[in-house]
Amino acid sequence: MNAKHIDLPAIEGGKPVREDFLPFFRPSIDEADIRSVTDTLQSGWLTVGPKTQLFEERLKQYLGVRNVVAVSSCSAAMFLALKAMGIGPGDEVLTSALTFASTVHAIIHTGATPVLADIETETFGPSPQDLASRSSARTRACIPVHFGGQACRIDEIQDMAESRNLLLLEDAAHGFGAICNGRKIGTIGDATAFSFYATKNLTSAEGGCLATDSDDIARKLKILSYHGMSYGSWDRYSRRGSWYYDIESAGYKFNVSDVLSSLGLSQLQKIDHLLTRRREVAERFSQLLSSSPYFELPRVRSGNTHTWHLFVVLLKSESLAIDRDRFVEALAAENIGCSVHFIPVYKHTFFAPYRKADMQFPLCESYFSRCVSLPIFPGMSDEDVDDVVEAMNRIAVHYTRL
């Protein structure tokens, strides 16, 4: 460590590493994105229409899947997929204890019961063995979560699901562009939900989609996502002046607009560049922190192509006289934004009625007590990464147990 690394941390009265605040995330929006949205605004066609259809087609080509249905969010995609699969009251659905609440909300809103499994420590996805151990005669489906930008142990989970005749719906909110053993995420399970929220690798500001090789699931999803309007009635959006429509079922209002789809289209054109820069930022973090005795760095499972939606480090509690919450506060004092992904589902008030007394999640508990998500986005400079590492080292040395 050189002298600047052992200065007093800002939280203890020292001068912050940065004068300006580095946010946890900043969207990568350029002039091409702005032109794409502006062209749509000037076209006079704002809601679901030709840009949304084109976005779906381009997503199909990128993912290599038969069907893509764009909807208002990944949350909507998961919920509608479960409905299209016939999941409902009396059914159980397996998923990870380490995920955002929307994964479990999607299950609950169908009337089914969520059953949580502990994680494994290589990908932070759900443990295939724990998923299997929590399966019962009522289990109808499994929602594995691809955490942080790399595939979970989806090959093992797929084998488990097939052996129990379970439907497999992948939560790939973090996983657009990820690959597992040569297979793109989106082409493995019965269906895969993606998020295009503002912080995601590809953004349409708000939005998401469901990818599936099942024509039946895609058809049902399209109907459910727009008021239950029959598939044929969608033709009225491609023939101006057509007034006829038929309501086939009690649907929802989960469509996505052409305004948002136009941003998604523009972002999709440069997705490889965006993912490359994320990988470069992650590699710089790994290089600079690799010899640190204070931090456990994220691992990439063999066969996985990581998209680095998140870069999560684990504090080595035995080396630090500071807990995770205080460490996050100390980084903020250095003008470094960070976050925590995620508060485990079972810790939230809404999940209390579903938690049984014998539910234990020791690996998730250990992870949550020590995890810090560092800033990572394509617009970060190498100097930004260096500032984050300097701040981390300054804090760690001050609070060292070594």
DSSP track, 65-114: -SEEEEES-HHHHHHHHHHHTT--TT-EEEEESSS-HHHHHHHHHTT-EE
Position 199 pLDDT exceeds 60 = yes
pLDDT at residue 357 in the model: 87
Q: If you average pLDDT over residues 68-89, what whole number do you get?
A: 98
pLDDT at residue 5 in the model: 42
Q: What is the pLDDT of residues 319-355, one digit of tens each?
A: 999 999 999 999 999 999 999 999 999 999 999 999 9
Phi first, then psi, for residue 230 (nearest 5°) are -60, 150
Position 374 pLDDT exceeds 90 = yes
CA separation for the pair 398, 31 (Å, rounded) = 44
CA separation for the pair 307, 177 (Å, rounded) = 6
Residue with the bigger pLDDT between 234 and 11: it is 11
Nearest alpha-carbon partner for 150 in 124, 168, 132, 130? 124
Return the beta strands (E) in 90-190 as ranges.
92-96, 113-117, 139-143, 167-172, 179-180, 183-184
Q: What is the pLDDT of residues 141-169, one digit of tens each?
A: 999 999 999 999 999 999 999 999 999 99
pLDDT at residue 230 in the model: 84
CA separation for the pair 16, 122 (Å, rounded) = 34
pLDDT at residue 241 in the model: 52
Q: Is the sign of the CA dihedral 146, 201, 392, 395 positive or negative?
A: negative
- Under DSSP, is residue 62 helix (H, G, I), strand (E, B) or coil? helix
User: By the 8 A CB rule, do 82 and 190 touch?
Assistant: no
Torsion of CA 5, 8, 12, 14, to 10 degrees: -100
Position 3 pLDDT exceeds 50 = no
How many CB atoms are located within 10 Å of the residue 353 CB? 8
pLDDT at residue 242 in the model: 66
Residues serving a catalytic function are 200
Looking at the DSSP bridge assignments, the partners of residue 93 are 114, 141
Q: If you average pLDDT over residues 85-108, what whole number do you get?
A: 98
Question: What is the reported pTM?
Answer: 0.96
Position 1 pLDDT exceeds 50 = no
Residue with the bigger pLDDT between 200 and 230: it is 200
Q: Is the sign of the CA dihedral 382, 387, 393, 396 positive or negative?
A: negative
Average pLDDT, the chain: 95
pLDDT at residue 272 in the model: 98
CA separation for the pair 278, 69 (Å, rounded) = 27
Q: What is the pLDDT of residues 209-237, one digit of tens each?
A: 999 999 999 999 999 999 998 865 456 55
pLDDT at residue 140 in the model: 98
User: By the 8 A CB rule, do 399 and 321 touch?
Assistant: yes
Nearest alpha-carbon partner for 317 in 307, 327, 308? 327
CA separation for the pair 100, 361 (Å, rounded) = 16
Tokens 């699901």, located at residue: 161
Q: Which fold has domain 31-269?
A: Aspartate Aminotransferase; domain 2 (3.40.640)
Distance of CA 138 to CAs 87, 115, 238, Å? 11, 11, 43
pLDDT at residue 244 in the model: 77
Phi first, then psi, for residue 255 (nearest 5°) are -75, 165
Parallel, antiparallel or unpaired: strands 208-212 and 191-195: antiparallel
Position 367 pLDDT exceeds 50 = yes
CA separation for the pair 305, 393 (Å, rounded) = 29
Structural domain spans, the chain: 3-27+271-398, 31-269
Q: Which fold has domain 3-27+271-398?
A: Aspartate Aminotransferase, domain 1 (3.90.1150)
CA separation for the pair 115, 93 (Å, rounded) = 6
User: By the 8 A CB rule, do 126 and 369 touch?
Assistant: no
Nearest alpha-carbon partner for 211 in 96, 360, 56, 12? 56
Instruction: Kindly indicate the confidence band of residue 358, based on its pLDDT and cuts at 50, 70 and 90.
Output: confident
Tokens found for residue 372: 């810090």
Least confident of 173-182, 239-248, 332-341, 352-361: 239-248
pLDDT at residue 232 in the model: 57
Instruction: Kindly indicate the confidence band of residue 238, based on its pLDDT and cuts at 50, 70 and 90.
Output: low
Position 240 pLDDT exceeds 60 = no
